[in-house]
Amino acid sequence: MASNSTPSSTPASKVPKSHRRRRTKRARVGDGSSAAAESTVHAPASEWRDWASLGSGPAWLIADRVLSRDVADYVRFRASSKAWRRCTADPQADALDPRFHPRCWTMLQDVVSRGLRYRYSRFKNDATGEHIRMTIRGLNGRDGRTHLARTSQGLLVLLNKKTDAVFVVNPVTGARADLPPVTALLSGFWRADVFPRWPHEVHFGVELTYDSAIVINLHGLLGVARPGDERWAEVEWEDPILGPVLSFAGRVYCFVDDAAMVLETSPDHPPRLSKADHNPFGSVP
């Protein structure tokens, strides 16, 4: 007797007509993909399987294997069946969930002609060469010019010049988390120093700590915050911080007077810099 937890084979005479010639749509990834082209698939009646009835155990195992390969494939897997979505973790529930970080996806530089409306951003999988198109909310310029930086885990952090609003987004899953505005963090600084005129200039960098805190570097001014915080915690240091913030083995580093400094973070204590035992990068970047 066949178990309900595995796909069952159905005689040709009992296969519904709707399953003999199926029209499928490629699953959309994240906030909106323009790569949802339709195609017609002819499924021979003798090969038809009721995959939607796959039990939660096997479906979860397949999803776990798919996720270990690429989070984009995991999103497509869940999009193909309502039953599979019920028994697998939702990648949009938490933008900082490390299981769904798009580490191998890189945002490509797109040039939007003057006067044209932003439609999407292109991303490339560095491992496979696959390209996808994603619509990132906040990049359309309607609410003010937005600056963008990427963590080493593939997350995007957007900072709105007009409102000082900051949020982090997973470009593949579409998950988003709001961070505190940087208004208080930037008090006493010239805005022209923080927000340069030309978008290609390096204006700020970001990283993610092992305990899910976002570190923002605004021209040597370090701030740390988590979703739900009321304000950014400033990391104080008497000497100027050189270069970008970098992540290695879950810890965030920066450089002061050619010395590697590690950022200590904890939800219960204010962030602080301490001298690292060794420089994991070999030299000052």
Reduce the secondary structure of 57-96 to three states and give it as a string: HHHHHHHHHHHHHCHHHHHHHHHCCHHHHHCCCCCCCCCC
Length of the chain: 285
C-alpha–C-alpha distance, residues 271 and 122, integer Å: 35
Q: Output the pLDDT for position 67.
A: 95
For 134-146, the pLDDT digits (tens) are: 888 777 666 666 7
Place of tokens 């050619």: 258
**Residue 148 or 94, more confident:** 94
Percent of the chain with pLDDT over 70: 71
Rg of the chain over CA atoms, in angstroms?
Answer: 23
- pLDDT class for 29, splitting at 50, 70, 90? low
Q: Is the pTM of this model over 0.85?
A: no
**Residue 269 or 37, more confident:** 269
- pLDDT class for 38, splitting at 50, 70, 90? very low
Contact indicator for 118, 12 with CB cutoff of 8 Å: no
Q: Output the pLDDT for position 23.
A: 42
C-alpha–C-alpha distance, residues 194 and 202, integer Å: 10
For 42-70, the pLDDT digits (tens) are: 556 666 666 667 777 888 899 999 999 99
**Residue 156 or 38, more confident:** 156
DSSP letter assigned to residue 82: H
Q: Output the pLDDT for position 52.
A: 66
Among 229, 228, 224, residue whose Cα is nearest residue 213: 224
Percent of the chain with pLDDT over 90: 33
Worst-scoring range by mean pLDDT, 6-15, 46-55, 274-283?
6-15
**Residue 167 or 285, more confident:** 167
